Each structure stands twice: as C-alpha cells, then as structure tokens.
Amino acid sequence: MRRFLATVVGSFLFLPACMSGQATPGSAAPAPVAQGAAAAPAARKAGVIWKSDIDQLIGALGDSARGKALPALGGDDVLATAKVLVAMAKCHRRYYHPNDVPVVSRSVEFLIQKRQQDGSFGDAATTAWVAEALAVLPLEPTHFGSEVAAAKAWLAGRAPGESTFDGVLQQLRTALRADRFPQHLGAAAAETAKSWAAGQGQATFAVAADALVQLVACQVLNRELDEVGKVPVAATWSLAQQRAFAWLLTQQQDGVFSVAMGGKTFPDPALTGFGLMALQGKPKAMRSAAEQAIIDKGMRWLIAGQNEDGTFGEQVPNYTTCVVVGALHRWGDPSIAPVLAKAQRAILGFQNSEGNGYQSGDRDYGSIGYGSSQRGDLSNLNFSLQALRDSGLPPNHEAFQKALVFLQRTQNLKTVNDFQGKVPDPDRPGVVLDSQSGNDGGATYYPGNSAAGYEQLPDGKSVPRSYGSMTYALLKSYTLAGVPGDDARVQAAVQWIQNHWTLAVNPGADPALGEKVQYQGLFYYYMVLAQALDLAAVKTVQVPQRNDKGEPVLADGKPVTAAIDWRQALRTHLEGMQQQDGTWQNGKNERWMEGLPLLCTCYAMVALERCQ
C-alpha cells in the first residue's frame, strides 16, 4: 500500500514538464498546454477534506429518517442503509452526535430484521455491506458477532465485486494522478450531497448513500496520503527518470517517435514501441492527463499499423513486433486482446521448428531471428519469449520447450550444449571457425558465434567467448521458459554473472580486440541485466572478493563474497552517466545504434524501472 501511495506523494517533487489541469464538475475544461511548456502543478489538500459536506449529508439523512418516521437512515433500502452506516463509522467523526444514536440504533434493528434464514441480507453486494456495517459500528459490535459470521459464511464463494468500501477505496486509488487528488475525485459526490441536504432534486436514498460513501472514501484516502508523506519511502520515480521522461516528450509527435535515415525522417514503429515503453515506466498515478493522452495516441497509431499477418513495421518484423507487443501489454487496454493474439501467432510462426522445416538436430532449432528467413539469435529470442508471455502464451507451451534446445546451444556449458561445427568469424570476412562449446556457464549470440571474440584451443578449435548482455539474455529466457532458479543451467549462468560482475563495461570481450569492444551494446546490457535479475528474483549478486594480485580471497578454504544490491548499484551508475539534457548515449561505441540518444535513453529508462 505504501509503495503505491508513495508514487503519488513523489509526484509533488517531480511533476512533468507537460501538464494539464483536471476539470471538476461544473467547471470549464482547462486550456491545453503546449508540448514542452511548464504548467502550475496541482496541489493536494492535506488533512480532513469534505468535512462539512459529510456532516450536512449525515444530518440531513438523520432528519429525514426522524421527521418521516422512516425505518432507517437509508429509508427502506437495505443496501443504502448499510452503506450509510459504514460511511458514518469510517468518516472523520468516527462516532455520532448523541441525538443521532437512536436513529442509528433503529437502522441496525431494521437491518437485523431483514436477515434471511441462510444468513444473507439479499444479494452478495448487500450482504457484504451489511456485514461490514455490523462489524464496524460502535454500538456494542459483539452483539452482532453471530450475524456477521453467518453473513461471511454465506458470502464464501460469492464475489461482491467492488461493491464494498474497500472496493470503492481501491477504485479511487487507481484514479489518482499527478494532477488529480482526493479533493478532485469527490467533487461530483459533494455536489450530490449538497443537493440532497438542501432538499433539492429527486435523488433517492441510494444516490445519497453512494455520495456519502464516495466522500468518506476520499477522506480515508487523503489520510493515507498524509501518513505516507510522514515516513521514509523508497523512491519509485527519480529526478533522473523525470528528466529523461521530459526529454522523450520532446522527441515525439502525437505519441509517435521517428528515425532519421538517408536525409529523411519518418515514423518508426520499433522506436515508437520503445519510446512508449519508456514513457509508461512513469507510474500511471503520476502521469498528467496530457501525458496519458500522448501515450494513448501513440498506442492507437501502433495498432492502426498492424499488418494483416499480425506483425508490425516493414523491416525486421519479429524484432519490431516484439517491441510493440511489450508497449501494448503495458498499456493494459482489454480491447486490444485480438491485436495481441494476431501478433502472438506471427511470432510463433517465426520460430525455427518443424513448421519451418527445422529438426531438433539443426543448429538453429527452437530459435527466432529478425524474421522468418533469418537465422536465429539469443537477442531476438529473449525479446520473443517476453512478447509471447506478454501476449498471454502460457509457459508450458511447446514453443518454450523448443526454445530451450536453442538456449542450451548458446550456453557455454558442456553438459547441455551439444553444438560443434563450422561457423563464420563475425569480424573477419572469409574466415571460418571450427567451433565448440566452452564450460564457463555464460552465453553467446548464437551457437558457435560471439561478438566478444574467441578462445583458440591447441587443437585448432575455437570456443566462442561468453559475454554479459547475452548471459543476462540467457538467464532472462530461462526464467521466461519456466526453468527454476535451482536448475544447473540457471546456476551456471548466475555463477558467470557473479564472476564477471561490472557496470563499467559489457564484460567478457577478448582484450586483444581492443578497449572499444568492451563498450559495444552497453545500454542494451544495462536493460537486459535489470530485466533478467528482476525476473529471476535475484536480490543481490554475490561477487567474489580478490586481493591486489587478483587472486580470490579465501576464508576457511571458501571464497569470500560481497553482496551487491544490484538495483541500487545500477541506479546510481546510470544516474551518474546521464547527460545534462536528460539523455543517455554510448559515446564509446556506437555499434548497434547506440549512437542514438533516443534508443540509449529508452534502454536506460526500462532498466531504471526495474531498480525500485
């Protein structure tokens, strides 16, 4: 609970550069804010809110019941009466004026008289509210213990849905935003309360009861926010993230991000997918209405661009489709289920398996590449497995089992890697290597291929070097495929990570290739590191300690390790690398498009989201 509410409290410190006000009932809609322009932040009212409106409505309900000799505060409506009693018990007064007690007692008697033989008080929603009313009333609640127990027993297996006070409270929590607080959320209910208290209109007791519940729930929520502001809470949205978020907003047009190529600029679905994924890292409760509108427009643009075969984009269809699925999944709109289903079928169709003429003995069996005609690789496969899970494919689907065959062939672990054969040297045209597996537990790009270089064996064979980004991609993929943490394959990958822990470079490269190679794919490395460790539920990385000579430090014959809080370490490291304009960029190696601030910033944002 505190973690959720902290996101709202944090919004007071890090309000967006693009903000709009929230119109309340009866007020004019706010003027639109130009992209990139600052607007005055909405301020939350602390303390008790809606006090007089609640007092007036409770007083009016009591007067009505007394003056018209009605059976209860909710007239003859059981549900309305229960709601009023619950709200009265939870409001700022917590008890009632002495003159109100008789009508409260009479209301309780009315509820008890409506109890049915099976212990219910009507339907599930009504029974749930009555049980709560009897439980929270300060009128000797022990007298109603048997009634409450019987009602709860009847409710077992029946879902009252959100028709409880806690349900109303949760709806309000999810409606919170950086520019919409409890004093805004209760505005419509306050208007209803005023009208009812003044005897105007034809509002029923049910309407009055709902208005009272809404106002009291806003009070409770505001008290929660007050309490969260008094205690230390972990940061869920940092200044570094907000600076990057604000910069990303300057790079989009109606939620769409573009790429420059050949002297021309054109909208790109892959970069748009990454951009929207990064923007959605900001907790929804903290986004302004204008920010959410930008995200919504971008999502609708992506959906409109889906191809007939379920893919997105015209180039590298699998990669693009997987990125777009990730963004759409985070959006959470249930209406896009058919869109995700079509994309899922397309991704499954790209897998190199029997349907595409592959057999289990083939090097690329179970893999997925950039498209149906492309050889497979671990980078595309980890994106694909994530997209398949995000689109609803269960982890026991055969696609994951087939993927495991390829995953094992990318891992330098002789007990599971059966690949050996000829592969082209990725850095020397015309050179063919006789490759076989190593045994350090790390991973390579695809079987026999490594962008980090090779270890040459005395017999002339080559072992592809394991490197950081692919080893984390392997750990992430194993986790997505349902391989447990105590599995030997996972343990071997984790051991490699512990032995090569660093944030300075993408580790594993052959020193003979030069210093620059260590920095290739650096921000991709940060992203997949965070995703893998988070998915695998790794809290700390146990890093072996070494002396000045680089030798392991031992205690009682066992290696001494230090527990690294990877989330804190990565967050601190990335914040230190951020540029003045809020971006990140790989200034030491532009390979794999990391010369683009847009892509590196998206990678860093996705990584930081996992560092909470």
% of the chain exceeding 90 in pLDDT: 58
Q: What is the pLDDT of residue 524?
A: 98
Name 393's Cβ contacts closer than 8 Å, sequence gap at least 6.
344, 348, 399, 400
Would the pLDDT of 11 be above 70?
no
Q: Is the separation of the CB atoms in 442 and 493 below 8 Å?
A: yes
Name 193's Cβ contacts closer than 8 Å, sequence gap at least 6.
53, 54, 56, 57, 208, 211, 212, 215
Q: What is the pLDDT of residue 226?
A: 82
Q: What is the pLDDT of residue 139?
A: 54
Q: What is the pLDDT of residue 157?
A: 65
pLDDT classification of 42: cutoffs 50, 70, 90: low
Q: What is the pLDDT of residue 13?
A: 33
Phi, psi dihedrals of residue 456, rounded to the nearest 5°: -90, 125
Q: How far apart are CA 256 and CA 21, in angstroms?
A: 23
Q: What is the pLDDT of residue 125?
A: 87
Mean predicted lDDT score pLDDT of the chain: 86
Would the pLDDT of 487 be above 70?
yes
HSE-up of 371 (CA within 13 Å, CB side)? 11
Would the pLDDT of 516 be above 90?
yes
Would the pLDDT of 244 be above 50?
yes
Q: Is 63 exposed, middle or buried (0-12, 13-18, 19+ CB in 10 A)?
A: middle
Q: How far apart are CA 81 and CA 209, in angstroms?
A: 7
Q: Is the separation of the CB atoms in 84 and 54 below 8 Å?
A: no
Rounded to an integer, the average pLDDT of 539-547 is: 89
Q: How far apart are CA 40 and CA 49, in angstroms?
A: 22
Rounded to an integer, the average pLDDT of 419-433 is: 87
Question: Measuring CA to CA, which residue among 456, 546, 451, 455 is closest to residue 502?
Answer: 546
Number of C-beta neighbours around residue 572 at 10 A: 13
Q: Is the separation of the CB atoms in 145 and 152 below 8 Å?
A: no
Q: What is the pLDDT of residue 467?
A: 97
The residue that leads in pLDDT, 561 or 95, is: 561
Would the pLDDT of 230 be above 80?
no
Q: Which H or E element spans position 83?
A: helix 78-90
pTM for this structure? 0.67
Chain segment 325-355, per-residue pLDDT in tens: 999 999 988 889 999 999 999 999 999 999 9
Would the pLDDT of 210 be above 90?
yes
Would the pLDDT of 52 be above 80?
yes
Rounded to an integer, the average pLDDT of 72-77 is: 84
Q: What is the pLDDT of residue 264?
A: 86
- Which residue blocks in 417-535 are alpha helix, DSSP H? 468-480, 488-499, 522-535
Q: What is the pLDDT of residue 30?
A: 35
Most confident listed range (78-87, 173-182, 468-477): 468-477
Helix (H, G, I), strand (E, B) or coil at 166: helix
Q: How far apart are CA 488 and CA 566, in angstroms?
A: 22
Q: How far apart are CA 218 and CA 113, in angstroms?
A: 31
Q: What is the pLDDT of residue 159?
A: 58
pLDDT classification of 20: cutoffs 50, 70, 90: very low
pLDDT classification of 280: cutoffs 50, 70, 90: very high
Would the pLDDT of 258 be above 70?
yes
The residue that leads in pLDDT, 168 or 161, is: 168
Q: What is the pLDDT of residue 70?
A: 79
pLDDT classification of 10: cutoffs 50, 70, 90: very low
Rounded to an integer, the average pLDDT of 236-248 is: 90
Chain segment 319-328, per-residue pLDDT in tens: 999 999 999 9
HSE-up of 65 (CA within 13 Å, CB side)? 26
pLDDT classification of 575: cutoffs 50, 70, 90: very high
Q: What is the pLDDT of residue 301?
A: 97
- Structure tokens belonging to residue 275: 């951009």
The residue that leads in pLDDT, 445 or 288, is: 445
Q: What is the pLDDT of residue 31?
A: 35
Rounded to an integer, the average pLDDT of 364-391 is: 92
